[in-house]
Amino acid sequence: MTVTTQKAPLEKLLSYIRYKRTIEFIKNKKVLDFGCGISNWNTRFVGKYPKYIHGVDSSLSELDRKNSLIKIYKGIDELPLSDYEVVLSMAVFEHIDPFTLIKILDQIHSKTSKYAILFGTTPTPLARPVLEILSYKFKLIDESQIRDHKVYYDDFWLKNILKKTDWKIQKYRTFQFGMNSEFVLCKK
């Protein structure tokens, strides 16, 4: 997984659109931000809403984690709690090999409460050519992020991955003309 810098012109806007939707889910909850990134922009935006928020991002250096606004752990196994109520995974799944994602979802499952949800976004296959043009040609999106995409998920592929986990789709919808998806996963 590569680190997003959010210095490309559309990066902050796209993050804002994604994270704005999280507020209804995270108010007064114990939140884990999986793939929180180096900039902590998302934490600055949503950080005041949860009871507390921890992050996990394996791509961050020790210095990045120390300078963070929140406590960020390198791996899920390092997390101090096992009762997170909401896991955020905003624009992260597409950066993870599907077989690795299955293992990660199992790890997250063990660190969450009985009625936990996982709220996330991921681009759909329809987005691939648009994202490539916006990043490679117009430089509006961080090119390294697009090159790092392993899979573009739609509900069909997401459901197939989840069959191998203890999570299921509770809600799924597309937005941005079908090029992005939003999902809520709950425990089976």
In a domain, 6, yes or no: no
pLDDT grade, residue 68 (50/70/90)? confident
In a domain, 2, yes or no: no
Say how far residue 65 (Cα) sits from the centre of its chain: 17
In a domain, 85, yes or no: yes
Where do runs of H (alpha helix) occur along the chain? 11-20, 23-26, 41-46, 62-66, 98-110, 128-132, 143-147, 155-162
Number of domains in the chain: 1
**How many CB atoms within 10 Å of residue 177?**
10
pLDDT grade, residue 13 (50/70/90)? confident
In a domain, 110, yes or no: yes
d(CA 150, CA 139): 20
Strands 167-175, 180-187: parallel, antiparallel or unpaired by DSSP?
Answer: antiparallel
pLDDT of residue 120: 97
In a domain, 67, yes or no: yes
Over residues 111-167, the pLDDT tens digits come to 999 999 999 999 999 999 999 999 999 999 999 999 999 999 999 999 999 999 999
Residue 136: CATH number of its domain: 3.40.50.150
Over residues 72-102, the pLDDT tens digits come to 899 999 999 999 999 999 999 999 999 999 9
% of residues, the chain, pLDDT over 90: 73
Q: Which domain holds residue 23?
A: 11-187
Provide the β-strand partners of residue 84: 112
pLDDT of residue 69: 76
C-alpha to C-alpha distances, 188 to 62, 123, 154, nearest whole angstrom:
35, 24, 20
In a domain, 130, yes or no: yes
Mean pLDDT score of the chain, rounded to an integer? 90
In a domain, 3, yes or no: no
In a domain, 5, yes or no: no
Predicted TM-score (pTM) of this structure: 0.91
